[in-house]
């Protein structure tokens, strides 16, 4: 591995090598951070380079911090210019991302932690109730129709667009959440006290398979920690 590192330095840098500065700054995602950690544990040459990077990182911060701060003149100039701008009439609407942002911003870290815990508990209970209801309805439906091949959820309100209870990962940024809502054409229909969001997807009903695929896709999203279909 050491020989490989030297070879890499003479030629093009490896992917891991190029990720080292971002690892030092703590801006890599969990997967890449793990890859870098594993490579550092294996390769002493890479670890040596990482030590140099940490020194660069520290001195760059030192250098920037030594630049001081702007004088009050900049702020005075800015607000004089703002005052000279034409008056703006506030609009009644408040965009979605701001509403979500406001919801999170109002919670303290402790409240967020408790909300997450309560949310998990409430979800387990809800999953149990939904499961029990589904089992009962399946039996009733099959007996009435005398058909064993029909999808059991066909009569569970196919007229409405699908909904899901979703909890976002703690590290999810507001921009990520709004992007996800856009991608899935989803709207928030309810933001419960337990830190869960009830989302509605699109404006047409979906088949059972489509819903299962949607939930599966949601579960695989990096910023989603939990997604469960809900009526």
CA distance readout (Å), 57 to 21, 60, 82:
8, 5, 37
Q: In angstroms, what is the minimal distance from the CB of 43 to other proteins? A: 13
Q: Which is nearer to other proteins, 156 or 188 (CB)?
A: 188
Please answer whether residues 61 and 55 qualify as being in contact, where contact means their C-beta atoms are separated by less than 8 angstroms.
Answer: no
Judged by the rule CB under 8 A, the positions of this chain that interact with other proteins are 9, 13, 15, 17-19, 21-22, 24-28, 48-49, 52-53, 55-57, 59-64, 67, 69-71, 73-75, 77-79, 81-82, 85, 87-91, 94-95, 97-98, 100-102, 104-105, 107, 109, 170-175, 178-179
59 or 210: CB nearest other proteins: 59
Residue 181: phi, psi to the nearest 5? -60, -40
Closest CB to other proteins among residues 22, 141: 22
| Measured distance CA(134)–CA(126) in Å, rounded | 12
Q: How far is the CB of 126 from other proteins (least distance, A)?
A: 25
First-to-last C-alpha distance (Å) of the chain: 55
Residue nearer to other proteins on the CB measure, 71 or 220? 71
Q: Least separation, in Å, of the C-beta of 3 and other proteins? A: 15
* Nearest residue (CB) to other proteins, 169 versus 211: 169
CA distance 98 to 104: 10
Distance CA 127, CA 113 (A): 21
Closer residue to other proteins (CB): 18 or 160: 18
CB 29, min distance to other proteins, A? 8
Long-range contacts, 21-27 (Cβ 8 Å, 24+): 21/53, 21/56, 21/57, 23/50, 24/50, 24/53, 24/54, 24/57, 25/57
Minimum Å gap between C-beta 60 and other proteins is 4
**Residue among 12, 17, 22, 19 at smallest CA distance from 48:** 17
Nearest distance from C-beta of residue 83 to other proteins, angstroms: 8
């Amino acid at each position: 591995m050491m020989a490989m590192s030297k070879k890499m330095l003479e030629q093009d840098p490896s992917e891991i090598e190029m990720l080292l500065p971002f690892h030092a700054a703590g801006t890599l995602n969990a997967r890449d951070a793990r890859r870098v950690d594993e490579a550092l544990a294996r390769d002493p040459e890479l670890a040596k380079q990482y030590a140099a990077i940490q020194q660069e990182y520290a001195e760059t911060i030192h250098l920037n911090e030594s630049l001081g701060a702007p004088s009050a003149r900049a702020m005075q100039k800015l607000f004089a210019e703002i005052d000279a701008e034409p008056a703006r009439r506030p609009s009644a609407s408040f965009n979605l991302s701001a509403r979500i942002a406001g919801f999170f911003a109002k919670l303290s870290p402790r409240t967020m932690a408790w909300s997450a815990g309560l949310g998990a508990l409430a979800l387990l209970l809800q999953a149990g109730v939904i499961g029990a209801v589904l089992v009962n309805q399946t039996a009733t439906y099959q007996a009435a129709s005398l058909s064993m091949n029909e999808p059991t959820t066909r009569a569970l309100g196919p007229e409405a667009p699908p909904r899901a209870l979703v909890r976002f990962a703690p590290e999810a940024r507001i921009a990520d959440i709004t992007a996800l809502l856009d991608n899935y054409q989803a709207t928030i229909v309810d933001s419960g006290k337990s830190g869960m969001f009830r989302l509605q997807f699109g404006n047409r009903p979906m088949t059972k398979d489509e819903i299962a695929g949607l939930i599966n896709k949601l579960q695989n999203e990096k910023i989603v920690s939990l997604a469960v279909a809900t009526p």
